[in-house]
Amino acid sequence: MHAMLPLLDQLAFPPIRRGALEALQINLTYRCNQRCLHCHVNAGPTRSEAMSDDSLALLHQVIDAHPVQTLDLTGGAPEMHPRFREIVRHARREGLRVIDRCNLTILGEPGYEDLAGFLAEQGVEITASLPCYSRDNVDAQRGDGVFDASIKGLQQLNALGYGQAGSELVLNLVYNPQGPRLPPPQAALEADYKRHLLEDFGIAFNHLLCITNQPIARFGSTLVSKGQFNAYMQLLRDSYRAENLDGLMCRSLVSVDWQGYLYDCDFNQMLDLPLQLQGQLVGRERAHLRDLLDARLANNPIVTRDHCFACTAGQGSSCGGALND
């Protein structure tokens, strides 16, 4: 393995192709009540970008017409989109699994006091950011007071049945490393999280999802400013594992930006690398939600660049956590 690493450093990410489309990941808005260091979309309180009514109408058409199984809502804080609840209700009526990528602190913001109850009522699966079970580590990455607000949010969700044994309300937590390193083994860290959160705060949850930080946007800029970018990229390349290729989320997921344009993943969206529909776009450079009504995606080539090594490094990384642990 080690003898091949210098050769790997000279190669681009290997070509990969799509399988069947199973999930739509919708970036509803860049607006967020937080401004986290690791955020690859540079979300924050001053961002105003949000999906328009026209694009939302197309999204409803795609949900009705396309055999997707999962609607994955992200941002920013997706709940801050004014039509968030309408989107959730429509998708659930159509029988889709709906995931809300929640930062937890939104549950305590003024005007969102009934949000947790709405999510429970609709049977929405919650994937919530909690980069550590330590107050100091969380606040260092996400801002002062975020840990305590997150704990309150988790306790509120637990009281509604989320993460509890025998409940159908799924609550998963997300771990991101604080610096330029790979996440530890997911199963062992999950056990640590469950023990500490239960003992210290009485909190239960279903699974921990370990996600490798992408060397792009805000995190990438921080690496550059500290002179760590090249070393981090080398770490990702050195940790490449070909067995992770088959499980990459881009094989079965399409990322949709707030304007309705399509990408192979959320990270490509931030790098402005649009999904390619070879021979299917007439007079246009970018695929849009309307193209999903009749587009042929199976076996379509996926747009890759060096940042993709983050998803294949070590145990692998996807929006669903580690690929191999």
List the beta bridge partners of residue 161: none
Pairwise CA distance, residues 187 & 207, whole Å: 9
Residue 159: exposure state from Cβ atoms within 10 A (0-12, 13-18, ≥19):
exposed
CB crowding 179-193: b at 16 or more within 10 Å, else e: ebebbbebeebbeeb
Q: Which CA distances in Å does 250 have to 16, 21, 75, 190?
A: 9, 9, 18, 25
Q: Residue 9: which pLDDT band, with cuts at 50, 70 and 90?
A: very low
**pLDDT at site 64:** 86
Domains of the chain: 2-312 (3.20.20)
Q: Are 101 and 78 in contact (CB under 8 A)?
A: yes
- Calculate the average pLDDT of the chain: 89
Q: Are 49 and 258 in contact (CB under 8 A)?
A: yes
Maximum Cα–Cα distance for the chain, whole Å?
A: 60
User: E-assigned strands of 225-324?
Assistant: 253-256, 262-263
**pLDDT at site 1:** 36
Q: Which residue has the higher pLDDT, 142 or 123?
A: 123
Q: How many Å from the N-terminal Cα to the C-terminal Cα in the chain?
A: 18
Give, as one character, the DSSP assignment of residue 97: E
pTM of the model: 0.90
Structure confidence by residue, pLDDT tens digits, 180-232: 999 999 999 999 999 999 999 999 999 999 999 999 887 888 899 999 999 99
Q: How many residues does the chain have?
A: 325
Q: Residue 295: which pLDDT band, with cuts at 50, 70 and 90?
A: confident
Three-state secondary structure call for residue 318: strand
